[in-house]
Structure 1
Amino acid sequence: MNKDKLKGDLDQVKGEAKEQWGKLTDDKSTETEGKWDKAKGKLREGVGEVKDKLD
Structure 2
Amino acid sequence: MDWNRVEGNWKEIKGKVKQQWGKLTDDDLDVIDGRQDQLEGRLQQRYGYAKDQARKEINDWFDRQKW
TM tier, smaller: 0.3 to 0.5
Query: What's the TM-score once normalised by structure 2's chain length?
Result: 0.29
Q: Larger RCO: Structure 1 or Structure 2 (Cα < 8 Å, ≥ 6 residues apart)?
A: 1
TM-score normalised per structure 1: 0.34
